[in-house]
Amino acid sequence: MKGVVLAGGSGSRLFPITRVTNKHLLPVYDKPMVYYPIQTLVNAGIREILLVTGGKNAGDFLRLLGNGKHFGLKHLNYTYQEGEGGIAEALGLAEDFAEGDTICVILGDNIIETNICSAVENFKKQERGGKILLKEVSDAERFGVAEIRENQVIGIEEKPHVPKSNHAVIGIYLYDPTVFEKIHRLKPSGRGELEITDVNNFYIEEGTLTCEKLHGWWTDAGTFESLLRANNLVAKTGANKMTETNDSAAVMSMEATR
């Protein structure tokens, strides 16, 4: 399995601070935001990682991350998204990198307390399809919202005015190689973007989309309110404690795959 971190976009909801840098380079407590999703993939035993970025600050990622030595990686891959065509368009840039392998995709502003080792291992047991991670939230209208019936996802709506549930689809997705064929079939939404929700709904139509609920807290960091929440949660949990917990999980995951 390969990993993809999506760290493009203009960060317009964080203007004016994102006029001088990419939002994924902003600090969350004691580390740049992008460190957290990369570490999440590494903790799940994923060592081949592609970073998709864009905008005028793309070169700063290379200066910050280099070849990923800080994360114990031998190599870190990069690609560039021109414009703002949406999450699914950004993911489509990973097609050559994936080389027919399964992938774990994480949005660059998603931060979790624990790890995704269980979801990754369970997905490896699936013959085909995709898997999404869910978290119950009080402001579901901000996210893609999953409608659940008898523990099955029967539909996903993107930022609905009246959510059918409080199960937010967090920005971590696992896909089989057919995800790129599905992306090629997409048409731009009313926002003019290729929506990842439409990709997930293709899997639902096939009956191959599974889901798991994430344990521990989760937050994005794409607004001033959520960025503040992310800083407070990481500070309260303790960055060192998060690292120790995740390192232990990574060892367990790597041993399980031997």
pTM above 0.85, yes or no: yes
Please give the C-alpha separations between residue 176 and each of 25, 60, 119, 127, 141, in angstroms, as whole numbers.
29, 31, 14, 9, 28
Phi then psi for residue 66, to 5 deg, are: 55, -135
Place of tokens 């993107």: 158
How do the pLDDT tens digits run along the chain, 258 residues long? 999 999 987 778 888 988 888 999 999 999 999 999 999 999 999 999 999 998 888 899 999 999 999 999 999 999 999 877 889 999 999 999 999 999 999 999 999 999 999 999 999 999 899 999 999 988 888 888 998 887 778 989 888 888 888 899 999 999 999 999 999 999 988 887 898 989 999 999 999 999 999 999 999 998 999 999 999 999 998 755 554 444 444 443 444 333
Q: Which amino acid is at 242?
A: M
Phi then psi for residue 152, to 5 deg, are: -115, 140
**Quick one: 2-256 is in which CATH superfamily?**
Spore Coat Polysaccharide Biosynthesis Protein SpsA; Chain A (3.90.550.10)
Domain ranges in the chain are 2-256
